Structure 1
Amino acid sequence: MTTEITSLRLEYGSATPFVGVERPRISWKTATDVPDWEQASAELSWTTDGVESFATVAGRESVLVAWPFAALSPRRSGVLRVRTTGTDGARSVWSDPVAVTGGMLAPGEWRAAFIGLAAPERPAHPLLVRREFEVDGDVRAATLYATAEGVYQLEVNGRGVDDQVLKPGWTSYQYRLIHETTDVTRHVRRGRNALGAAVAGGWFTERYGFQGNARTFYGEQPAVAAQLVVEYVDGRVQTVVTGPDWSATGDGEIVTSGIYVGEHVDARRREAGWSAPGFDDSAWQPVSVHEGSVEPEARSGPVARRIEELAVREVLTSPSGATLLDFGQNVVGRLRITVSGEAGQEIVLRHAEVLEFGELGTRPLRLADATDRYVLAGAGVETWEPAFTFHGFRYVQVDGWPGELDPADIVAVVVHSDMERTGWFRSSDPLLDRFHENVVWGMRGNFLYLPTDCPQRDERLGWTGDIQVFAPAATYLFDAGGLLASWLRDLLLEQRGGAGVPFVVPDVLGSAAMPAAAWGDAATVVPSVLYERYADRGVLEAQLDSMRGWVDQVLEIAGGRHLWEGRFQFGDWLDPDAPSDRPAHAKTDADIVASAYLYRSTRLLAEAAGVLGRHELADRYAAEAEVVRRAWLDEYVTPAGRIVSDAQTAYALAIMFDLETDPIRLEMMGDRLAGLVRRDGYRIGTGFVGTPLVTDALTRTRHDDAASRLLLQTENPSWLYPVTMGATTVWERWDSMLEDGTINPGEMTSFNHYALGAIADWLHRRVAGLAPAEPGYRRIRVAPVPLRGLDHAETEHETPFGRARVAWSADAGQITVSATVPPNTRAEVLLPGRSETFEVGSGQHRWTLDDSRDDHRTVELGLHSSLAAIVEDREAYETVVAVLDAADPEWSRTFRRHTQWVEERRLSEAFLLGAPNLESRVESALDELNGRRRR
């Protein structure tokens, strides 16, 4: 029997030793082959300046444990180790040491000014800045702190200092700016040295807004600030900061650069050695100097990097004769090209997510040009990749390539925040697995320093509604805690002065004055998810004022009726029946959505206050929540359990938000929801709000078959329809591309949005059956729901305690369930078809039981059968559809989409106003099916 520490990290993890807080919380994972292992205690060792200190943690705590040593100070380093003792008395060996260095600056220590071009010729003018300095002794350490109003890359003595991209990312710049902390000791040498930075506008100078109202929000020109601290062996400290003694030029190789427009580089303007000592910068100009609006703070979230490279899948020629590259996957990033040609030859790279009639589909990009331009220097083989932009694309049109294009000379560089992958899902259905992979790629593309809605058009904003619904899936798929906690800090800052929660964070649209349900509720939902998934009590503490501010604002709006009524709402955004130009026009009334979210947020606030020991506050908001709940039921629900908006989202809200607690009416609501799903032919009938909830509500009310049919539907609208159309990410609209291959005519159409992929969380928790039973997965719930239509499903998740896994498979009338429970945790288990739960400890577990799933096949079906009976029988439905498709595909599509599949109507009635002479063909096909079944 062996026990060892497999992971030791601080706060949210970091790829460098630098930690941005004085007292970072500590987490570790234990691996052991001892069954039912639990930690009895842990011992922490901290060695700094040659002195080792120890601290003991009693009990099972191993996740986000408070720092027990003296506070870290800037640039001071140490080594952290841990070892554990189990309840069996056995002790692990010490973990591998983890180097830790204070990455913050002391209060008031930031001395660097922001420098830029003194006389820029145009808005958002890219620039280079430089300064030389002398090092006159042996260097013990050199630490570089830097940030920008824009995006930047620093070089020391002609070499880049790190592999990050688009630093420092995007925060609410007027309130919070991030500085990077980089160890550049190996770059600095005795004698003459040089610091240089390339800077572009990025998000800082971008123009934001829609319908011709775009404007610059932060500033017209980029600037950079840097502070190099050189510590000598003899104890001296030298500090080099940006200021008036630096030089700048706007005549570098980057001619223009923007997030939306792309990057234009003229390699003929490249100045070799510009960031190295000895470069002649006499033609450069003095810099402009200004103080920043806020003092930069150390990074807490993950950095963005080049994560992966994709080769060209296929070279295509469009009908117009253009050369198109297909990378086989919709990605976010940019291209790297290797090329040779004559000086002055310009290569133009135009990016898009889809093709339409064989040509690049650029209309969904709106005003985003998404075009990179490279002018060759003509000096042999040249390799180039844009530095300060990114695109969302699968296809690229290449114009101006010199000579014959070799696809090996162009690669797609995938860029996103560097988060650890933590969640996986697999099943027996390849389309479902591809859909889940699409969800993963959609998250990768939209987690670039903050959670955005889309990565390709003139938007790319941190929409609160999107991450509110997607946060549970995000925190399962990747270790997203650091990124989301950082983003939540900006959300709180945007609420300053009593402002509401904006539609987007950072709020470049000025939207905080107009609260909207399901969007503003990100203030309560996202912190609650981070606590549930990571046991991060600290994020609740940090965001409690934000949560209260949001709930108090909406409670005041609700007034004495305790209902949020009559105000602007997005509602169940992008209901599939909404007109393409009216995406908020949903079947579920927006007031029903708004007041349901008011209850949910008020209850989440009460629960957060309880976790934090604020019991008086918890009781007050729990009472408020109950008043809102009763008001919602009284206003919108009949005694028979019918909701006045008789639509899928309304019932899903009532069921999943626990608005209805009476078991009888809850059963009625579940029955009605299942009936609506069947009536619609098991096609999706929900938008952003209802989509994450509808299958959950069905399985919660024991309508597993309806959930299965809805999940595995491939007709439009459905989750799998885009997969059948070749999608490799989740679309914004259910029909972003129509069946004929044309792009949806709506002004707002994206092929990379993660909101409708939020159902992935249900795939993990319910279909495969792995969920947290206590915050941070300290107790795990194993409760798979084997759906008809699947033969097996499995999921794995890297919990804060280690890898957990649940899988089930059906074969020969039996279902086998297996589970891996990480050390130091326990699991509550509910097996399929059973009503009682039981508990197991850590280790490997396996159970076999009879397959109780009923195939529900009807033996005799015909024109006399109800439409409900036909659609409930997948084989019968497909038999009918095959006849209709063969006779008239267009009429068949209309019939399938608009028929109400209800008990009260016979199949024969469906043809009364439809296609003639089909009844006999349908009846013959069903007779043949009946015959096969009898045999």
Structure 2
Amino acid sequence: MTAGVVDLRVEHLDRAVGISEATPRLSWRVIGAPQGAVVAAYEIEVARDQGAALRTRVESRESVLVRWPVAALRPRERAAVRVRVWFADGQSSSWSQVTNVERGLAAADWAVDFVSPSPAAPTDGPRPAHLLRTEFDMPAGVRRVRAHVAAHGVYDLEVNGSPADDSVLAPGWSSFQHRLRSQTFELDGLVQAGRNVLGVWLADGWYRGRLGFNGGLWDVYGADVAVMVQLEVQHADGRLELVPLRWRTTPSPITATGLYEGESHDARRHPHGWAEAGFDDGRWSPVAVLPRGDFTAAIEGPTGPPVRIVDELMPTRIERRPNGALRLDFGQNISGRVRITATAPRGHEVTIRHAEVLEDDELCLRPLRTASSVDSYTFAGDGQEIWAPRFTLHGFRYAEIEGWPADQAPEVIAQVVHSDMRRVGWFSSSNPLLDRFHENVVWSMRDNFVDLPTDCPQRDERLGWTGDIQAFAPAAAYLHESTGVLRSWLRDLAAEQREFGSVRNFHPWLECGFPADPAAGWGDAAVIVPWTIYERTGDRELLSEQLPSMMAWVDQVDVLARGTGLWNDSFQLGDWLDPQAPPDRPGDSATDAHLVATAYHAHTAALTARACDVLGYDAAAHRYTVIAKRARKAFNDEFVSPSGRVVSDTVTALSLAICFDLLATADQRAVAGTRLAELVREGDHLIATGFIGTPLVCDALVATGSIDTAYHLLLQTHCPSWLFPVTMGATTVWERWDSMLPDGSINPGEMTSFNHYALGAVADFLHRMVAGLSPATPGYRRVRVAPVLGGGLTHASTSHLSPYGLIKTAWTRTGSRLRLEVALPIGVEADVQVPGADRAVRVGWGTHTFDAVCRPAEDDPARPRLWNVHSPEDRSEMAEQGVVA
């Protein structure tokens, strides 16, 4: 037998060093087993720091988020783990590769204080970055060397002049007053016996730099910028030694840096050899010591991947502008930075400006608002120099460089920067515009998952908006392994919810002029995001961790609704960015905002009831079921006529009523479905929804039988539509349906971004309905395959690297014939609903092929009617019609 175990992971991490979990869960995939093999047991071997390896065999087919099989890891303890599985016939797979698991420090283990080069913030404005260095002696023959680091600001760690790892903008952004995230660096291969140096680049980042809109705020979390580095050595005999560090500091060559502002670097000021032993730092300054006890935030290990440079793009076009500047088009709107390679005289300066789009053949900078996004580099004159900004980030497709050396060809690349999530979902179809749109959704997700889910990567905002991610969470979970990033963000949400007594409209929260009032569809992220992650991963622990937050939100809204279920007398954002809203008033939706509020109250109360049921809290499940029923009744009493007409006669209102199952009778649902299709057709199949209605409208149409209308809406190319931006050359999803107008001019509204993922939430419909793959049980243990054909598409396919392995579905229509192919990994079953069949067929792992023959199209040739060639009844009808299977 050639079966093997691969992709052994710890929690939701690829690298499990410095984690906080004492009993981390394990997941793996089985490959190479022969058709029909059945997993009967797994065996886990754990080799700890001391003692013999322990093997634990469990009679179970489970392979996802499996419980830690031995005693809890102690702080700093490392274990080597491998897994194999046993089959029902008594044979075993090969062992997996070893995965190392290392717990970080517990709270009581931190024994050093923060050190700061700048304990008091200077005046507002882009501030310089700092260098810190310390030398220490390392004895020979040590077993392990670790640096545990936490920071106020963003930092890079160097060891003897080399980067300690490849992460950037560490430690990212969290609600710093509640949570600091630490990083553990394995320095074994970077230090040597004798004299060594630790060097730190340190800047404001999210901790002290400008954040928010309307001018933004400085020093949100504190006036200091500081780092805490605990260097520990474990000797061969197991003895642990804390290495004392004496830090010195000086201003760095980065003379000014800000996330919104950009970065200025003067290479003439670079102290060569500063992070190497023997450098004379006698003219450097001592650091200020900030006692650790003065800060109350909990220090946690990582839950998700770090931010990294994940891709590099060459320019697709370079032109010399009339003013002598170089304009570069990288062909893709990204979150990242530009790296240059050039030779120039000492003191020569180049300046780089960034923009997402052009207007009148110039960089369109107005959508950046006050985020200047300008980088500059002053050459040292020491030969070829390679530079990219270190502590800033831009959203851009175009860059203009002023001052490029006239005698040199441009050597410039764009570095794509975001959380290093692995891609797990794909889609393709016979419609090139639809495929490009799907890739635009993927890029917008990548560009907006820079440590937490943000709205946009370019302007003076870049905040963790709750409404955006609650709409997009199903697509996010399908496209990338995003659980670790979202878990961290949900912890911020819950911590700030406890402090403020409510979920805010973005987290981490800033008092930057936006209303703090709870709003439906935004605060509901507290419920929808953890429930979605549970559905897609099966992670009950995450659901349990977030359940208090879920319950608190629903309880709060129940109070705001005065126990009636009708939430109708408070601030709401409603169907934000309804295309009918004026550019300067994006909240002026045609849909009653309190209808939206009541609908979401019913929906998230029902989801919370289901979460309580999953976790075994029967009394709580009953309580939230009652709240959900009360809100559902209030929705019907207030917003639905006896005939079934929804009073707020809009596409969004009807889609909410249908998708959230808020209508009291089947007749009312039918009336709502008929009216929804009428509105879409009367609107010439143009989009009439904002952030709330857009993720739901296609599902609502299909659920009530209007498949052709759903496809016509989906594939519309006129403005407003999903595909209009694609026809205009978009490479990401826009914030507004008309961020760029048909004549190429830019929307005059203040809120005009070309890189938001929210309106791309329909990608989930492409996966579930067009290609036909959705989870039937949490974590994809069983899936539903039920493609909905239409739109003139001749093929569609999707694949998803589920927790159990790669699942693929693909259908192809050739003339009158339809073929559906389904590939399942071991451990997964599927209920396959062949188009045209009366019932689903359950199949196990392996590859399965289903065929059907199209009946003559009587109404709309875009949607075939099918005979299932595997059905005796259909074969009989085909014979009567003279059709050959």
Does TM-score exceed 0.5, indicating one fold? yes
- Aligned counterparts, 1:493-892, within 5 A: 493-497=495-499, 499-509=501-511, 513-660=516-663, 662-852=665-855, 854=857, 856=859
Report 1:333-372 matches (<5 A): 333-372=336-375
Change (3 A) 1:82 1:774: same
SS in 2 for 1:207: coil
Q: Distance in 2 between matches of 1:120 and 1:590?
A: 42
Cα contact 1:126–1:222 (8 A) shared by 2: no
Match of 1:133 in 2: 136
Taking structure 1 as reference, are residues 47 and 512 closer, same or farther at Cα in structure 2, changes over 3 Å only? Answer: farther
Matching residue's letter, 2:280? D
Q: Aligned in 2, Cα 1:839/1:240: closer, same or farther, shift over 3 Å? A: same
Matches within 5 A, 1:460-499: 460-497=462-499, 499=501
The 8 Å contact of residues 113 and 241 in structure 1, kept in 2 or not, is answered as no
- Structure 1's 6 and 143: CA in aligned 2 closer, same or farther, altered over 3 A? same
Deviation at 1:855, TM superposition (A): 7.0
Structure-to-structure mapping, 1:110-509, within 5 angstroms: 110-117=111-118, 122=123, 124-212=127-215, 214-240=217-243, 245-250=246-251, 252-292=252-292, 293=295, 294-318=297-321, 322-407=325-410, 409-497=411-499, 499-509=501-511
What letter corresponds to residue 259 of structure 2 in structure 1? I
After superposition, what is the alpha-carbon deviation per residue over 1:54-92, rounded to whole angstroms, capped at 9, x for unaligned? 222223221111112111123322221212123444322
Structure 1 counterpart of 2:74: 73
Q: Which moved more, 1:95-104 or 1:454-463?
A: 95-104
Deviation string 1:324-380 (CA, Å, 9 cap, x unpaired) is 110000011101100111111110000110000110010000000101000111111
Contact 1:828/1:840 (CA < 8 Å) preserved in 2? Answer: yes
Contact 1:116 1:224 (8 Å CA) reproduced: no
Question: Cα RMSD (Å) of the superposition?
Answer: 1.9
The AA in structure 2 aligned to 1:265 is H
Q: Could you say what secondary structure the match of 2:678 adopts?
A: helix
Given that 1:118 and 1:286 are in contact with CA atoms closer than 8 Å, whether structure 2 keeps it comes out as no
CA shift for structure 1 position 395: 0.1
TM-score when normalising by structure 2: 0.94
What residue is the counterpart of 1:98 in the other structure?
A: 99
**What letter is aligned with 1:672?**
R
Counterpart residue identity of residue 432, structure 2: P
Q: 1:112 touches 1:225 (CA, 8 Å); kept in 2?
A: yes
| Identity across the alignment (%) | 49
User: 1:784 Cα deviation (Å)?
Assistant: 0.5
Write out per-residue CA displacement over residues 118-170 of structure 1, whole angstroms, 9 at most, x where no aligned residue.
Answer: 67755544111111122234221100111211100111122110000000000
Q: Which residue of structure 2 aligns with residue 879 of structure 1?
A: none
The residue type paired with residue 542 of structure 1 is: E
SS of alignment partner, residue 179 of structure 2 = coil
1:676–1:321 distance in 2 versus 1, CA, 3 Å: farther
CA distance in 1, matches of 2:85, 2:583: 58
Q: Secondary structure at the match of 2:390?
A: coil
**Is contact 1:319-1:359 (8 Å) kept?**
no
Structure 1 residues 849 and 33 mapped into 2: Cα distance closer, same or farther (>3 Å)?
A: farther
SS in 1 for 2:464: coil
Q: What amino acid maps onto 2:749 in structure 1?
A: G
> Residue 209 of structure 1 contacts residue 215 of structure 1 at CA under 8 Å; is this kept in 2?
no
Partner Cα separation in structure 2 for residue 349 and residue 520 of structure 1 = 39
Give the TM-score taking structure 1 as reference length: 0.89
- CA deviations over 1:842-861 (Å, ceiling 9, x no partner): 11011111235847469xxx
Asked if the contact 1:11–1:26 (Cα under 8 Å) also holds between the matched residues in 2, the reply is: yes
CA distance in 2, matches of 1:820, 1:332: 35
Counterpart residue number, 1:54: 55
Amino acid at match of 1:4: G
Shift of 1:213: 5.8
Equivalent pair of 1:318/1:359 in contact (CA under 8 Å)? no
* Structure 1 unmatched runs, 5+: 859-871, 874-935
1:828–1:837 CA contact under 8 A, matched in 2: yes
In structure 1, distance between residues paired with 2:464 and 2:394? 16
What residue identity is the alignment partner of 2:59?
A
Distance 1:118 1:106 in 2: 24
570-579 or 103-112, larger mean C-alpha shift = 103-112
Q: State the match for 1:12 in structure 2.
A: 12
Q: Indicate how the Cα distance of structure 1 residues 716 and 254 shifts in structure 2: closer, same or farther if over 3 A, else same.
A: same
Q: Name the CA shift for 1:675/1:83 in 2 (closer, same or farther; >3 Å).
A: same
Is the CA contact 2:324–2:402 (under 8 Å) kept in the aligned structure 1? Answer: no
Per the alignment, residue 21 of structure 1 pairs with 21
- Amino acid in structure 1 at the alignment position of 2:370: L
Q: Deviations over 1:821-866 (max 9, x none)?
A: 11111111111122312211111011111235847469xxxxxxxx
Please state whether the residue corresponding to 2:286 is helix, strand or coil: strand
Name stretches of at least 5 consecutive residues in structure 2 with no aligned partner.
Answer: 864-885
Cα drift, residue 405 of structure 1: 5.0
Give the C-alpha shift of residue 786 in structure 1. 1.2
Aligned residue identity for 1:619:
H
Amino acid at match of 1:617: A
SS of the residue 2:405 aligns to: coil
Is contact 2:121-2:223 (8 Å) kept?
A: no
CA contact 2:4–2:33 (8 Å) conserved in 1: no
> For this pair of structures, how many residues does the alignment match?
856
Between stretches 204-213 and 448-457, larger displacement belongs to 204-213
Q: Which shows bigger deviation, 92-101 or 808-817?
A: 92-101
- Could you report, residue by residue, the CA deviation over 1:857-900 in whole angstroms, capped at 9, with x for unpaired residues? 69xxxxxxxxxxxxx99xxxxxxxxxxxxxxxxxxxxxxxxxxx
Cα pair distance change 1:319/1:682, threshold 3 Å: farther
For 2:144 and 2:636, locate their aligned partners in 1 and report how far apart those are by CA, in whole Å.
65
Contact map agreement 2:119 2:224 (CA 8 A) in 1: no
Which amino acid in 2 is paired with 1:12?
H
Given that residues 427 and 433 in structure 1 are in contact (C-alpha distance below 8 angstroms), is that contact kept between their aligned partners in structure 2?
yes
CA drift at 1:754? 0.2
Distance 1:853 1:257 in 2: 66
Deviation at 1:100, TM superposition (A): 2.1
Q: Which deviates the most, 168-177 or 74-83? A: 74-83
Deviation string, structure 1 residues 204-246 (Cα, Å, up to 9, x no partner): 112234334644311234211111101222444332366xx42
Offset of residue 3 of structure 1: 2.5
- Measured against aligned partners, the alpha-carbon deviations of 1:751-804 in whole angstroms (never above 9, x if no partner) come to 000000000011001110000000000101010111132111000000000000
Report the equivalent of 2:83: 82
2: CA distance, partners of 1:241 / 1:605: 50
Deviation at 1:513, TM superposition (A): 4.3
Deviation of 1:401 after TM superposition, in Å, equals 1.1
Look up the SS of the partner of 2:108 in the other structure: coil
For the 8 Å contact 1:453–1:462, the answer to whether it is kept is yes
Q: Cα–Cα, structure 1 residues 852 and 821, in superposed 2: closer, same or farther, change >3 Å?
A: farther
